[in-house]
């Protein structure tokens, strides 16, 4: 493969055959001092996110806030509509008969929390993303089948084309390829 000019290089990609090899490679890259790298796999692998330096996601907090908004907003909407906006006596109950507002409060809590979960997951992941350099490597199509990839970015402070290539080769990958930006 012809070498890519330095400014057009996104990084170096190593291909592995098993999830264990990828996990070990990611841990080794972290120990070696690399910070800007990512691992790609056809399914979620336990411990891989920690190995690439992503131990925790903010998603649960956002979902909790979303649920809270749905809960309080839902209750307030009903309370305002049936107590202030359009009070109507039904079955001799007081206007503020809050127990009958609970089912809708519950449903709206779930609705807002679920919408936050999905929209949050997609946007935090930076999707939809029409272009990513990783797809320039032809064999990367197998990342959604049965192959496992480690990509060290050229933007990493420790990145050096030949040294990083040597490091990746030392992990015994099936192939190391340069990724065009």
Interface residues toward another protein, by CB under 8 A: 19, 26, 38-45, 48-49, 51-52, 54, 57, 59-60, 63, 77-78, 81-82, 85-86, 88, 90-91, 93, 97, 100-101, 103-104, 106-108, 110-111, 113-115, 117-118, 120-122, 124-125, 127-132, 134-135, 140-146
For another protein, the closer CB: 100 or 170: 100
Tell me whether residue 3 or residue 92 sits nearer to another protein (CB atom): 92
The pair of three-digit structure tokens given for residue 80, joined into one six-digit string: 């305002």
Taking the complex as a whole, the smallest distance from the CB of residue 142 to another protein amounts, in Å, to: 8
Question: What is the torsional sign of CA 41, 37, 164, 180?
Answer: positive
Half-sphere exposure of 31 (CA within 13 A, CB side): 9
The smaller minimum CB distance to another protein, of residues 20 and 160, is found at 20
Report the alpha-carbon distance of residue 109 to residue 76 in Å, rounded.
12
| Residue 6 C-beta: closest distance to another protein, Å | 24
* DSSP three-state, residue 162: helix
Please state the closest distance from residue 162 (CB atom) to another protein, in A.
Answer: 26
Q: How far is the CB of 67 from another protein (least distance, A)?
A: 8
Q: Which is nearer to another protein, 115 or 166 (CB)?
A: 115
Distance CA 8, CA 111 (A): 45
Residue with tokens 């709206």: 108
Nearer to another protein (CB atom), residue 69 or residue 134: 134
40: left (phi over 0), alpha (psi -120 to 50) or beta: beta
For residues 35 and 11, give the distance between their C-alpha atoms in angstroms, rounded to a whole number. 13
């Amino acid at each position: 493969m012809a070498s890519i000019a330095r400014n057009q290089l996104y990084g170096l990609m190593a291909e592995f055959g098993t999830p264990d090899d990828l996990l070990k490679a990611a841990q080794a890259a972290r120990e070696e001092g690399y910070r800007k790298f990512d691992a790609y796999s056809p399914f979620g692998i336990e411990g891989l996110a920690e190995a690439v330096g992503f131990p925790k996601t903010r998603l649960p907090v956002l979902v909790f806030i979303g649920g809270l908004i749905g809960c309080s907003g839902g209750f307030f909407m009903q309370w305002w509509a049936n107590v202030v906006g359009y009070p109507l006596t039904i079955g001799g109950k007081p206007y503020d008969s809050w127990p009958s507002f609970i089912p809708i409060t519950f449903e709206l809590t779930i609705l807002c929390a679920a919408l936050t979960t999905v929209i949050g997951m997609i946007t935090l992941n930076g999707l939809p993303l029409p272009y990513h350099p990783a797809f320039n490597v032809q064999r990367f199509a197998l990342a959604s089948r049965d192959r496992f990839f480690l990509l060290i970015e050229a933007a990493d402070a420790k990145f050096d084309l030949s040294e990083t290539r040597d490091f990746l080769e030392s992990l015994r990958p099936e192939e190391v390829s340069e990724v065009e930006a």
